[in-house]
Each structure stands twice: as structure tokens, then as C-alpha cells.
Amino acid sequence: MAKRVKENSEKDQDQDRQIEDILKVVEGLQIAQNVSRSVVAPTGDTDRLNERVRIKEMLTQHFTVDQIKSLAWDIDIADDINKSGTKETIIESLLSEARNRRRMLHLFARLKDLRPFIEWSIAKDWSIQT
């Protein structure tokens, strides 16, 4: 009988160790999951970058170079944008200056006036965060 008690006690200890090992693994996985979330999913930066690219594409598609320059004048940043260069560089300059001068809301209001058939709502969230 003492031998059975000893065997049961050893089995219980083995089970306790296995449970502790499993708990350590689970805890490690939870920590790893939290770390990967913080590394992989930055707070909004990726979304804002994708929105900037989308806005640039929309401007490229729906506006001429002269219209883009006129947009800059409409929101009072015409003197600060690069007026020479490719259409894409002018658009980049427009977006950068509008963001730096906190004129994004004005820009999007004007875009909605000029091209009401385009969905500019993606830009609204981005402009508020700048």
C-alpha cells in the first residue's frame, strides 16, 4: 500500500510539473502574441500612409496640373508648393504643404466642391489626424 501511495504521489508530482510547463508555454505564447501585435500593427501609421497614396492617386486621375496648382491657390498655399516638375511631384508638394500648414480640411472641402461625384471620405479621417 505504501508503494501505491508513493507511485500516486510521484504521478501527481509529474502531472503538476506538466501542468506548470504547459502554463509556462501558454504564458509565453500570450506574451509573444502581444509583442507581435505591437510590432506588426502600428497605431494608424500604415492606414494614413495608404490613404495618402490613395489621395495622390485620386488627384492624379481626376485633376490636371493646372487644376492642382489652382487648388493650391484656392487654399492659400500656392506660394509654397513646387510648381515645376511632374504632376506627381506637384501633388506631393500640395499634400505636404496642406498638411504642414494645417489646410487639409480646406483642401478636402474644395475637392468635394470640385468633384462631388468622388468619394473623398477616406481623406476626412486622415486630415483630422494631422
Domains of the chain by residue range? 1-41, 45-129
- Please enumerate in sequence order all residues whose Cβ is within 8 A of that of 117, keeping only pairs 6 or more positions apart, or say none: none
Q: Tell me if the pTM is above 0.95.
A: no
Supply the pLDDT for residue 16. Answer: 81
| Per-residue model confidence as pLDDT tens digits over 53-81 | 888 999 999 999 999 999 999 999 988 78
Count of Cβ atoms closer than 10 Å to residue 51 Cβ: 18
pLDDT band at 40 (very low <50, low <70, confident <90, very high): very low
Residues 10-25: what's their mean pLDDT?
78
**Res. 115 pLDDT band, cuts 50 70 90:** very high
User: 3-17, pLDDT tens digit by residue?
Assistant: 665 666 777 788 888
Q: Which among 36, 67, 12 has a CA at the least distance from the CA of 59?
A: 67
Q: Do residues 102 and 82 make contact, with C-beta atoms less than 8 angstroms apart? A: no
Q: How many residues does the chain have?
A: 130
What are the distances in angstroms from CA 97 to CA 65, 67, 75, 81, 104?
A: 16, 16, 10, 7, 9
What the block records as the C-alpha cell of 80 is: 509654397
Confidence at residue 48, expressed as pLDDT on a 0 to 100 scale: 66
User: Kind and range of the H or E element at 53?
Assistant: helix 45-62
Nearest to 50 by CA among 120, 108, 123: 123
